[in-house]
Chains A and B, each alone.
Chain A
Amino acid sequence: MRSTFGGLNTVVRGLAAQQVSLDTVGHNVSNANTEGYSRQNVSLVTTRSQSVYGVNGENQIGTGVNIESITRARNTFIDRQMWKEASSLGYGQTAVDTLGRIEGIFQEPSENGLQTTMNKFWSAWQTLATNSSDEGTRAAVRQRGVEMVDAIQHATKQLTDMVSDTNTVVDIKVNKVNQLSSEVYALNRQIVVIEAGGNDHANDLRDRRDALVDEMTTIINVNVTEDKYGNYNIQSSGVPLVDGVGYRNLATVSTNDLDYGYEIKNVVMQGSTQTIAFTSGELRGLLEMRDSVSATNSYDGIKGYLKKLDKASEFLLTDFNNVHKAGLGTDNSTGTNFFGDAVTDYNSFTPSATTMGWIAELKVNPALFNTTDGLSKIAAKTAINNLSIEQSNAAGGAATVNSTYTGTTPLNYQVKIGNNPPVAGDIVAGAVQNVRVSRDNGVTWVPVAPTVPLTVPNTFTLPSPSGVVNVRIAVDSHNALNDIYTFSVNQGNASGDNAVNIANSLKIDNPLSTTLSGSSLDSFYNSLIGALGVQTQSAKSLTENQETLVNQIENWRQSVSGVNVDEEMSNMIRFQKGYAAAARVLTSMDEMLDKLINSTGVVGR
């Protein structure tokens, strides 16, 4: 026999269940736009049925509905995919940002870039080559040198500013990670408390914790595992960050870069000095873009480009200076540096590791700014070896001259093979043993003996009023007595052939120069810009792909966990109807009981 009031309980349970479901619908709808929210479902189950004894045996009567659990619709597989790809996206985006800024520093191709400055520098030297005694042209060359130095040092300053900006951002990101770690830990504790006993689901807290991990993965790469109590154990690159009992902070430690001495910050566990090497995320992007050099990492970051500018400065201070030092100024001074200071020989110079290496040394030689003789020290002409020597016997050995003659009147020489008068023994097996020289166009001849007799080929020191003039005639079987060699000594001040050599060192590859591995400054700079362009372009396309992938995963996650307002509305109608029906049933039961209670046993009254 069924209990009298048992049906009421059944219906009451139904009312309560529909109410709770409606509440859940209201919760879903309110949180439709909450970040990281996953929609919650009420899972209803029937309660235990009651056995009622009837005529034919037992019958089971249902006793209503109960709420088993309220769960959130969440696919943890998707979450893990998301955490992995979001790290890569964070890494890609910082790389693209940094490279974009580096491109902005170099500003190629445009009229404001370093290439245009180098072209103007080259033009200035070429103009000097045609008019090298003109003070105005010399001043222009010096000024273009200053422009080159300014351009390189300005770019360097901007790159080092980027380094210090990066350091600041690393600090900020590390603070953010620490803050997230502490919040995740707090949530861990709350969730464990709520879910103790194994039955409950701390839906909203878990949503919040997952959202925090989302944020954390953009910054660093993480490895998340959940233990049996519901704690998230988070570690990053082998370093444990959060677990059930506590969390650890990251810290930054400041050192000086080994090569250039500027401050760099690295990330460590607080209290240790071991640097953490992240494998993905924005922090990895920032640190790598700051520090990597293509020699070790196969691509360049800010430091890589600083190294390249350093190499360019080294080239200007060594190879370029060497060509300048080999030439002579209008006051016949030689060995003057064009870049750098006046006294250092940069071929044997090692830059210190606490400043910007070669870049710090780069300046136009202050001696060239001296008002009395600075401009005349710009070495536009070469030493005597490049003079053209006319020889009467084209088949004979070639003559080469070197001299330290410092006079200003040209010395004209005619050198004839053979003593005065010539004898057969003056040429032995093609090697010249004696010459005679005339300085008055062949009128008088003076014999000259070799400097060191019997060495082959011989050097003859010619008479000269100041300084030394040596001539050497190559060994050749066609050398004959009375062959004449004519040349004059001392370059006039309008000669600009060293200026041409200097200009060529900027543009023409020289395999003998090792600073840039045989390239000219132009080729080196072109390959720098090309590498920058390719690197940035590939970073951009990788990041774009990554963005698309992350969007897809987000869509997938939304598809599983997101709130669809239409669905919630139809659910709302369902539960509303359910509630209304249950209320109806309750009303009818109430009437029945009312009949039973109030109307039974009152016959005829």
Chain B
Amino acid sequence: MRITNNMISNNYLSALNKSLERQSKIQEQLTDGKAIHRPSDDPIKAIRSLRFNTNLSMNEQFTQNVNDSISWMETTDGAMSNLSNIMIRVKELAVSADGNKPADALNAIGAEIDQLINQAVTIGNTKIGDRYVFAGQMDGTLPFERKPITDPQSNKTMDVVVYNGDLNKISMLIKPGVTNPSEDSVNITGEELFGPLVYKYGNAADPGFPTMDIFSQLISLKEELQKKSSITQTTSTAGAATIGGAYSGTGYTNYDVKIDGVNGLNQVTGASYSMDGGNSWTPLLAADITAGNPSVINNLPNGVTLSIATAAGNAVSGTTYSFHMPTSTNNSPDTLWVSNVALGNIDRAHSAQLKMHTELGARMSTYEMVKNILASNNATITNDVSQNEDLDISAAIIDQKTSENVYKAALSVGAKIMPLSLVDFMR
């Protein structure tokens, strides 16, 4: 075949170009260590790379969810341990409140239980970050609030711990799929912690206030232990007052009695009472007060009578006597009830809590295991991504060296052949 100069130079150029193309491709790969830079380099690898990276991001999301769940559960765990200590202390106190103690001692025990109730409320309001742990799904609202409410049926003020949360579970997914509260919930609702939800102080139209059983028990225990005729008087020099009569009301009633009249013998002759903490006063009729030493004030609501002793400090203005009922006729707490019924209730509640705590512990160890599984999955997927996308550096460098040598050989051969022609040899 006849060969011309142009053919030689064209072939030379196209071969050089091919070699340079090869080198440019290897250079692109070596610059960032990745084998594919566009889908057309290897379409199957490109799709696999997309899938693997998606799996990796899913794995990372679930790992974060597991970590969040574990920290949530750890907070719950700490709170439940504290709560258990409180319940144990309450039981100790209840046991120690036996019939041999005087009423004052029992009152003091009641006061301590009051403080323990406050602590339990604080534990119930534990937060992680700014989310309440025991509020169910209403994690932005304060779940437990201890407040006095008015019982619509008896119009008395009752001490109650109101539950403002709900009974739903917060789910944190740790595997693909839909949420299933029985499998992936992380929280313990207030109901599981403190006993079933009961509605108290309602009527036919309104179910009343939601509260928890344990709090009801603790409040009843405290009130039982604090039964006494504790009368506070605003002037210490006034006469001491004692309560009598048969209290016929239900629940607590607060009484305030103030002196309206004093005779020359420092005996109380006139009084008025208030049932709403001093906002409105109802004067008593003269016939209701029997002056003497002590003066007996009859006809207070619910069959209660108050006897005020004679003292020089009895005066018309200023002296107010405050007390609350109920108080039993013998003025002392019912220790039999305390040691049988109340203690049994508290015991049962504590056992239920311990069971919940144990379940939580089992859940936590499962989650730790899931965390390890996710971590090893992450390593596997990362490995897959790397095998799929990463360049075999040693093979690529050998390739690059080879094509560089080929390029040099082509250049030198071309340089030798192309310049020669017959012209150089003619004289």
Contacts and interface: CB of A to CB of B under 8 A. Distances in A.
Given A492-B137, A497-B178, A507-B54, A410 B6 contact: no
B139 A109 contact: no
Interface stretch (A222-230, A257-265, A306-314, A553-561): A553-561
B50 A108 contact: yes
Contact of A488 (B62, B139, B167, B421): B167
A108 B39 contact: yes
Given A496-B171, A566-B422, A559 B4 contact: yes
Given A490-B166, A555-B11, A109 B137 contact: no
Given A441-B198, A495-B170, A537-B40, A109 B46 contact: yes
A410 B53 CA distance: 42
A537 to B, nearest CB: 4
Interface string A497-541: 100110010011000000000000010011101101111110010
Interface in B34-79: 36-44, 46-47, 49-51, 53-54, 57-58, 60-62, 64-65, 68
A563 B4 contact: yes
B138 A441 contact: no
A231 interface: no
Contacts of A123: 57, 60-61
Given A108-B39, A530-B39, A569-B423, A129 B6 contact: no
B355 to A, nearest CB: 18
Interface residues of B, number: 68
B10 A555 contact: yes
Interface string A114-131: 011001101100110111
Contacts of A570: 422
- Chain B contact residues, majority secondary structure: mixed
B3 interface: yes
Contacts of A109: 36, 39, 46, 49-50, 53, 389
A318 interface: no
Contact of B131 (A103, A131, A564): A131
Interface in A387-423: 387-388, 408-410, 412
A410 B164 CA distance: 9
A564 B11 CA distance: 15
B137 A103 contact: no
Contacts of B415: none
A563 B5 contact: yes
B137 A495 contact: yes
Contacts of A126: 61-62, 65, 173
A594 interface: no
Contacts of B136: 410, 492, 494
Interface string A8-28: 000000000000000000000
A365 interface: no
B244 to A, nearest CB: 36
B193 to A, nearest CB: 16
Interface string B142-179: 00000000000000000000000111101111001111
A410 B189 CA distance: 13
Contact of A507 (B7, B11, B60, B176): B176
Contacts of A100: 38, 40
B281 interface: no
B3 A559 contact: yes
A103 B39 contact: yes
A336 interface: no
Interface string A24-58: 00000000110000000000000000000000000
Contacts of A535: 40
A130 B7 contact: no
B199 interface: yes
A493 interface: yes
- Bin chain A's interface residue count: 35 or more
Contacts of B208: 440
Contacts of B46: 108-109, 529-530, 533
B57 A119 contact: yes
A492 B7 contact: no
A551 interface: yes
A200 B135 CA distance: 106
A412 B137 contact: no
A120 B389 CA distance: 21
A479 B184 CA distance: 30
B1 interface: yes
Contacts of B61: 122-123, 126-127
Contacts of A408: 138
B102 to A, nearest CB: 38
User: Among B14, B138, B165, B176, which residue has the most Cβ atoms of chain A within 10 A?
Assistant: B138
A443 B36 CA distance: 70
B44 to A, nearest CB: 8
User: Among A104, A409, A522, which residue has the most Cβ atoms of chain B within 10 A?
Assistant: A409
Interface in B181-235: 181-182, 196-199, 202, 207-208, 210
Interface of B: 1-7, 10-11, 14, 36-44, 46-47, 49-51, 53-54, 57-58, 60-62, 64-65, 68, 131, 135-140, 165-168, 170-173, 176-179, 181-182, 196-199, 202, 207-208, 210, 389, 421-423, 426
Given A564-B3, A566-B422, 7 more contacts: A103-B39, A119-B54, A129-B179, A410-B166, A488-B166, A491-B137, A537-B42
13 contacts: A99-B40, A104-B38, A108-B50, A410-B166, A439-B199, A441-B197, A496-B179, A497-B171, A504-B176, A532-B40, A533-B47, A534-B43, A565-B421
Interface of A: 32-33, 99-100, 103-104, 106, 108-110, 115-116, 119-120, 122-123, 126-127, 129-131, 133-134, 387-388, 408-410, 412, 439-441, 443, 488, 490-497, 500-501, 504, 507-508, 522, 525-527, 529-530, 532-537, 540, 551, 554-555, 558-560, 562-566, 569-570, 573
